Structures are given as C-alpha cells and as structure tokens.
Amino acid sequence: MTTAGHGSAAIERRDERTTVAVENLTVRYGETAAVRNASLFLERGELVGLVGESGAGKSTLGLALVGLGGAASGSIRIGDTELIGADERTRRRIRRRRVGLAFQSADDALHPAYTLGEQIVESIDGTRRRWRRRHESRVNRLLEDVGLDPAFADRYPHECSGGQNQRALLAVALAGDPDVLVLDEPTSSLDAVTQAHVLETLERVMGERDLAVLLITHDLDVVEHCCDRTVVMREGELVDRGATDRLLSNPTHPYTSTLVDARRSTPRAVDGGTSSAPDADDAVVAELETVTKRYREGSFVAALLGREPTTDALVDASVAVREGECVALVGRSGAGKTTAARLIAGLEAPSAGSVRIRGEPVGPVAERRPAQRAAVGYVFQSPRSSLDPRRTVAESVAEPLEGAGWNPARRDRRVGELLEHVGLEGYGDRYPRELSGGEAQRIAVARALALEPDLLVLDEATSALDTVTTHRLCSLFERLGRRNGRSMLVVTHDFDIARRLADRTLVLADGRVVDEGPTSELLSEPTHAETRTLIDATLGGSSADSRTKTTADTRTHTTHATDESD
C-alpha cells in the first residue's frame, strides 16, 4: 500500500480505506518545532508502527491526531473532518468517537479519584454516575479483552500495578468504539506474558472492528511482530518508511540502520552473569528477610466490622543484594517486584518480616538515619510522576543534595556532573513538561545517583526508552556497577536487561520468590514452570512462531515473528 521513501515528502497511495491523512504537519511548542512537515496516512485494517529515539517527536505527532499538544499547522483529516483549525467541540467529538488514545504513562493518564470502571464508562457516554445500570456488561467485556478480571472495575489506579493500569488505559481507549487507535508505548511497562496477550488483543480487535492503528513504540520486536508498515522518526522529521519486514531486514536509511543495529547488539553483561560475580561471603548491602506485605482493600465500615478483605503483594519473600552485585527481579505485572523494591527503599513498611541495610534492621524512610536514607537511590517506574512540574531539572536533581545540607556551589557542581553522566548536559533550566519520556527517565537516574548510594534501585528504568538510549543507559549502569562496588537491584520485565546487567535473577509469581539463580543459567536452562512461561512468551522466545500463527487468522495481513539473538 505504500511506496517507501526517505523523508516526509515520500509519496504514499491513498484510497477509500484511508481513515487518517496527515500532510505537511508541523507542531510547535513556543519557538521549538517538535514535528516538522510530517506526512503519513492510516488505513482501515492495518497497524502502522512509529519508531525513533526518545525525544524524536513521536508522542507529539500522536497527540496531534486527537487535537492535543502544541500549535499545529498543515492538515490532519480524520475521515472527512479537518482537525487543524477545528473548534473545541469538533475536537472533543473526534476524541470521544473517532480516535481512541492510550497515553504512554497510565499512572499519569488515569484519574486517582475514580475507579477504573468509572473511567472506562466516561469514554463511552461521558457520565460516570450509576454506570453499572447502563454499561456493566460492556465494561466487564473490555476489561477481559485486555486481560483484567472484571473485579478490577471497582479498583482505583493506586491499587493496581503499573502493567495493570496500562491495560486499563487500553480498555479506556477502546471504550468509545473508535475508528482509529493511537497507542503511545502501550506495552512498555508490561511483562512478556501480558505483552503477548495485549498484542494479540490489538490484532484481534483491529481485525474485528476494521480499525486503523498507529502504534508508537521504541520496541522494534513489537513492530516486527505485528506492524504492517513502519515509519521512522528522527528530530521531528519522518526520515524513513515502508513495509515492516523490508525496513527492518534490509534498512537503507542510515538512521534506521542505527536503530536496527542497536536492537541486534545485546552484549553480555560486563558485571552480570559472568564468572566475576560477587562471592557469597561478600557483605550484604540490603535484604528482605521472610517479608510479607499485605494491603487492605475494604471500606471503613468493613474495617470496623472486621470484614475487610486483604491482598498479599509479597508472601515470605527473602531477597539479598551483596556488595558489588546486581540482582534482577522479574515476573508478571502484579507479581510483587515493585513492592519488594519499595520495601528495601523504605517507601513501604512490611506487614511481617524485616528489612535490613548493612545488617541493621530499618523501618520506613522517615524512621531511617541520614546515612541509611542515602544508602539507597531509587529510580521510579513513572519518572514524570516523581518529578515536580514546578521545579527545573537542576532543582529536581539537587533536591536530595539540598536535603543533605550541601551548599549551593557544591550542589551546582554535582548537578552538572550528574547531567553529564546521563547525557543531558545543558538541560538544567528545563521543566519536566519540556522533556520526552526517555529524557525524564534519565533525569530520574541522575537524581537517584546524587548522594552516591551503595544500592541503586532501578524500577523498570528502561521500559520507556528506545533501543539506542537503553543501550547507552545500560552501559552507564555497567560502569556504575564496576566503580566503587556499587550494588544494583533491577526490577524489569525485559529479559535482555536482566541478561545484560544481573549477576543473579529472582523470579516472582503471586508475591512469592519461585525461582532464583545465576542469570546466565536461569535464562538459558529454566527449570521452573513460571520461568519457562515468561521466557517462552517473549517475542524472541520459542513461542513466538506459534503465537503468530494463532493470531494470523484474525488479521487481514501477515504478522511476522522474530528471533532475537543475544
């Protein structure tokens, strides 16, 4: 359906199946052009991937398709409706009925004061009150479509894991029966099993509803697995496009080649998974000892009556990180990985068991001594949620230094060093709203390193990043691991990250540690059923071919599985 070419001026054929037509689109934020002269089209029944490094303008282009973002010029036609210059009523109608949008960060997009069911219904008819009378069966079906139990309709976002919230946001995007779906990194925070399920759901729903889908992603495995065409974006411009199999197997544009090469090169860890792993006698930096974490879910009245239901996020879990060691926690969404990390950092208190830093029992962060607080640096899963929108980048990075009593001159020098470490020199005066998702994540890394912690906790620290930036950050983490014997705890659903960084890997399921061992052995010869399931579910795993065959029947085009080398 397309003639490949380099640049936004490439010629594309369009017919009556064209649902979205973008021509010479430019989007500006003040004097900065985030998108320049972009042209593309989307047809019914096809899935188009939009790839590029963090900050390339992918999310800005996606927002423009629903009338959001910066000042736009050019042309965006949704069916017969011109979006550029349209009034707010028209844009709202497009967002509600024609184009469904799932944002990159579900934690930011979902309202904390409303249940998931209320937010799904709001996309159906604009009203949350008494929604069960009108749409209970439809809400239940949407939740099941994205792999969530209907009981999640009564949960609030803070009661769900990051992956569960991401799936709920996909249900919100589908709720209005749109003609077009714009999905901004919909699988970036999902484990391999859930990612495969969501992609299958996308393919099935697209085929059943004859949707046009724009999939914004940094994951070339996802693109190769399910996208008909792929468009490559760099520094606000569309520099390459074409059929996905051709574009990825035989890239001709230099920038596309850079992305593909970064994906193919997943080197073994410098510190992790090698014979140089820390000795069992090395000092333990941080540990959980038979820890259980229980959350209460009921109402105030239920609590008074002693009938309050509870959920165990962790059950008798023990995790230890030794001097100079990198440990990875892997598992499905909701398995308890982030809960374990937050307990070690003092952001949660255990219901039973103990948390120790350098052998000393510690409580929540407010009860820890300054040295104990400084011993753990934490990079959160959603960097935008952890950065104060009113503070500049320099002020955010300096925050722990200010709390530790550093004078202004010393703080400024340290902030400059940290920004250089993460490749963001000159960003000190920017605000979070001026950063891409990947840039915000790197700022979060810089802040976590401010006080030279003994243990760096990375909670899905690369999940929102493109392959080039991920490679750069992993190289940084490897250097940090070698220098000063810094330990790391890596929470991830990406086995390539675990393979590259971790000496040991622990597998969690339903709040329990079900498998553990040296990373190279655990991933190359898995023995536990849960470990095998997670590995087989990856797009480069042994189940990829069979999964593609299963979903191909629901599609009007060919899906390609991929075998990814180490």
Fold of 18-262: Rossmann fold (3.40.50)
| Residue linked to tokens 């792993």 | 277
**Rounded to the nearest 5 degrees, what angle is found at the Cα of 373, between the Cα atoms of 418 and 343?**
110
List the beta bridge partners of residue 217: none
d(CA 302, CA 313): 20
- The three-state secondary structure class of 75 is strand
Q: Which residues of 295-309 are buried (b: 16+ CB within 10 A; e: fewer)?
A: eeeeeeeeeeeeeee
pLDDT of residue 107: 72
Cα maximum dimension of the chain: 70
| Residue linked to tokens 């940290």 | 418
pLDDT of residue 382: 72
Q: Give the C-alpha distances (Å, rounded to integers) separating 346 from 24, 270, 342, 388.
A: 50, 29, 6, 20
**Rama region for 428: left / alpha / beta (φ>0; ψ in -120 to 50; rest):** alpha
| Residue linked to tokens 């070698």 | 482
List the beta bridge partners of residue 26: 73
**Tens place of pLDDT per residue across the chain (566 aa):** 444 444 443 444 455 678 899 999 999 988 889 999 999 999 999 999 999 987 789 989 999 998 888 899 999 999 889 999 999 989 888 887 889 888 767 777 888 888 999 889 988 877 777 787 788 888 998 998 877 899 999 898 888 876 688 788 888 988 888 899 999 888 877 778 878 877 887 888 888 888 999 999 988 889 998 999 999 999 999 999 999 999 999 998 999 998 888 776 554 444 444 434 556 667 999 999 999 999 876 555 555 666 667 788 999 999 999 999 999 999 988 899 999 999 999 999 999 999 999 999 999 999 999 999 999 999 987 777 788 999 999 999 999 999 999 999 999 999 999 999 888 899 999 999 888 767 888 899 899 999 999 999 999 888 767 777 788 778 878 877 766 678 999 999 888 899 999 999 999 999 999 999 999 999 988 989 999 999 888 765 543 333 333 333 333 333 333 333 32
Q: How many residues does the chain have?
A: 566
Burial of 389 per CB tally in 10 Å (0-12, 13-18, 19+): exposed
**Rounded to the nearest 5 degrees, what angle is found at the Cα of 491, between the Cα atoms of 265 and 163?**
100
CB 116 within 8 A of CB 155: yes
Q: Which long-range contacts (CB under 8 A, 24 or more apart) does 360-365 make?
A: none
- Measured in degrees and rounded to the nearest 5, phi and psi for residue 219 equal -95, 105
Burial of 492 per CB tally in 10 Å (0-12, 13-18, 19+): buried
pLDDT of residue 553: 37
Residue 10: what residue type? A
d(CA 23, CA 131): 40
DSSP codes of every residue in 20-55:
EEEEEEEEEETTEEEEEEEEEEEETTEEEEEE--TT
Q: Give the C-alpha distances (Å, rounded to integers) separating 26 from 51, 95, 186, 217, 231.
A: 18, 20, 25, 21, 17
Nearest partner of 444 among 410, 476, 405, 484, judged by Cα: 476
pLDDT of residue 265: 58
d(CA 507, CA 513): 6
Say which residues have a Cβ less than 8 Å from residue 175's Cβ, sequence separation at least 6: 100, 120, 121, 123, 124, 138, 139, 142
CB 398 within 8 A of CB 411: yes
Start and end residues for every CATH 3.40.50.300 domain found in the chain? 18-262, 284-540
d(CA 135, CA 225): 33
The domain 284-540 having CATH identifier 3.40.50.300: the answer here is yes
